Chains A and B, each alone.
Chain A
């Protein structure tokens, strides 16, 4: 029976084909049958995790805690130089310079991306905003977050920094960045589940050496990564603790 691989639904759609290429590559390198299953949203992916269907996952830091503590997953690698950062943006016409100057009862557009939402809400805290005094405008994608701002349907948007930077220049011209996080230590990780754990070292070895190989380099490029680096168990525990402190 093949193992199941999935990717956190918050990745940018441009990299969809990259993950299929990656899946083919990792199967060949490790001689392991792996099926890539892409879920459209966090709910269906979490349900699959709860039902122990997933063996390999490119997980966002928010889910990593649950994967390690409840499901016995261990970290393999992270993309070198990549970290998850969030941006608070407003329409370019908005004259506010500081979140503390935003009006009460603001409408906040965001996606279901849990770690970005968490970081974004933390950046709104200095203005005395929390889940109880904002009006949420839940959006399927970051492009829709931008559209809500442009149409005046939201006052503030919470973006994954990478997604904001990838918006077209025409859209970006009509938006303004109010705060950009500089947290650096929160990142997605490729993680391995109990059924594949015996192959952890083998997976880590092929992944960390991937950039030395011409084909491997091409696969990494399709994901917009330069290389993978090992994530130690301690580093993952530290990130989980950090997420714990933020989630209050």
Chain B
């Protein structure tokens, strides 16, 4: 399940926008300019069904996203979708993993409190006995140079 963001959850001044997500889901997004730095030495790990529904998250995922594990399990992965991320990036992700290949990219993720954090994400299809059973996504700390490049590039991709 995914619901609209609530003003009471947001920390700081926020802007509002409605995003059309995968599978015709529409979501009201409240977002701020507050960046949470990626912690050194940690990996954020999650697993989803082939449809992108979260089935597993690690502690770092919970801490950085600001959601509880209960809120995350069963939710679409697009719960992290930030309005500054161009839809083309996610199209590329789904096209790539759909071909059974590994996808890697820099992503600005949305937190429950409206803030954001940048990650270097790698998504791989989990194939067992020749059948796609899940996707695993691992995020690590990105280089600031690469993030600065994305901050310039992504607005041009809308």
Contacts and interface: CB of A to CB of B under 8 A. Distances in A.
Interface of A: 99-100, 122-123, 125-128, 179-185, 237-238, 241-242, 244-246, 248
B100 to A, nearest CB: 12
B128 to A, nearest CB: 7
Interface string B116-136: 000010111010100000001
Query: 7 closest Cβ contacts across the A-B interface?
Result: A245-B122, A245-B138, A181-B41, A126-B141, A128-B143, A179-B40, A179-B41
A227 to B, nearest CB: 23
Given A185-B58, A241-B136, A248-B104, A123 B124 contact: no
Contact of A183 (B42, B104, B144): B42
A179 B38 CA distance: 13
Contacts of B30: none
Nearest to B147: A126
A179 B42 CA distance: 10
Given A237-B126, A237-B128, A241-B124, A182 B42 contact: yes
Given A244-B124, A245-B122, A127 B143 contact: yes
B122 A126 contact: no
B42 A245 contact: no
B43 interface: yes
Nearest to B59: A184
A125 B145 contact: no
Q: How large is the interface on B (under 10, 10 to 19, 20 to 34, 35 or more residues)?
A: 20 to 34
B28 interface: no
B43 A244 contact: no
B140 interface: yes
B122 to A, nearest CB: 4
B37 to A, nearest CB: 10
Given A125-B120, A126-B143, A241 B40 contact: no
Nearest to B145: A128
Given A237-B126, A241-B124, A245-B102, A123 B136 contact: no
A241 B125 CA distance: 9
Contacts of B42: 181-183
Interface in B33-57: 38, 40-43, 45, 47
Contacts of B40: 99, 123, 126, 179
Contact of A242 (B45, B102, B146): B45
Given A181-B41, A182-B42, A246 B58 contact: no
A4 to B, nearest CB: 29
A242 B142 contact: no
B145 A122 contact: no
Interface string B1-45: 000000000000000000000000000000000000010111101
Nearest to B143: A128
B126 A123 contact: no
A116 B140 CA distance: 16
A245 B136 contact: yes
Contacts of B137: 245
Given A179-B41, A242-B45, A122 B143 contact: no
B136 A238 contact: yes
B138 A246 contact: yes
A122 B122 CA distance: 13
Contacts of A128: 143, 145-146
A48 B136 CA distance: 32
Contacts of B138: 242, 245-246
Contact of B140 (A99, A125, A127, A185): A125
A100 B60 CA distance: 21
B69 to A, nearest CB: 15
Contacts of B60: 182
B142 A183 contact: no
A149 B123 CA distance: 36
